[in-house]
Amino acid sequence: MVNKTLFWSKQLLPTQLQWQTYLAIMLTIVSWASAFAGIRAGLQAYTPESLALLRYLTASLILIAYALVTRMPLPRWRDLPGIVLTGFIGFTFYNVALNTGEEKIPAGTASLIVASAPIFVAIFAVTFFREQLKGWAWLGMILSFGGVALISVEPERGLQISFSAFIVLAAAIAQAAYSVAQKPYLKRYNALQYTTYAIWSGTLFLLIFTPGLLEQMPTASADATLAVIYMGIFPGAIGYVSWSYVLSRWPAAKAGSFLYLIPAVAIVIAWFWLGEVPALSALLGGGLILVGVVVVNWSGRISR
């Protein structure tokens, strides 16, 4: 009886390593979700471009220290052009576009639109890797696009289309392109190494906004500056380190399913941090997006 109890306790209770993995995925979710509210807070004193530069200067410095401590190898010369390009797409363009969109729309709403990125990953997989979608996957894509359309309409302004929502949608497409483009490089580098190289590359492009950042920093409030530095440390650096740890312990599909929690967490954080509550249409549209993403990913994209 005692042996049987010990057997079931070992099977049902998470081990220390499993608890560490769960803590790592929760750290990833909370840190990445908090970035949407952090952006809105930083935009009180910084332009979208300057905010992106300060955030990723902070992240790059932390990752340089990490790379030196762990003796991270440099990328191969032949891989540099592709890494630089994906860094521009996934960090330079993505962050400037997201920051620009969040000048007009709430943090929680932005997180719901960005949650559509897996749909565009599926589209790129069909286009570039010749995958075929099942019928359920097509239904999921239609639901997600319907959700984006619902968020993009502003009924309080006479059913006008929100241009800012489309800018955030462009950021989601960039995130999807980055996710697909990094696939061949992850055969030669681990997730943390590749992400570090891409962040450094994206930061180099952002350096063109240095004059604006130097002009805005002296007059920026301490709260705004601390919010941006926080994003560089946690969502920008620690979040990616914890995500890499999770990917080293769990299958990517299992880890990725937890990321569906980000919009819900982002809405709660924005509520407490900024006092923002998304409109009903944004919540309904976000719900459609998340349902569509789940259908696409859980139906199995490949038809047989």
CB 278 within 8 A of CB 104: no
Residue 119: its pLDDT value, please? 77
Structure tokens at 73: 């190898």
CB 293 within 8 A of CB 120: no
Q: Which residues of 161-186 are buried (b: 16+ CB within 10 A; e: fewer)?
A: ebebbebbbbbbbbbbbbbbbbeebe
pTM of the complete model: 0.82
Residue 269: its pLDDT value, please? 92
Residue 245: its pLDDT value, please? 83
CB 34 within 8 A of CB 234: yes
- Average pLDDT per 10 consecutive residues for the chain, totaling 304 residues: 48 62 89 94 96 96 92 93 94 96 89 81 73 70 76 56 84 88 84 91 97 96 95 89 80 71 87 85 78 71 45
d(CA 56, CA 43): 15
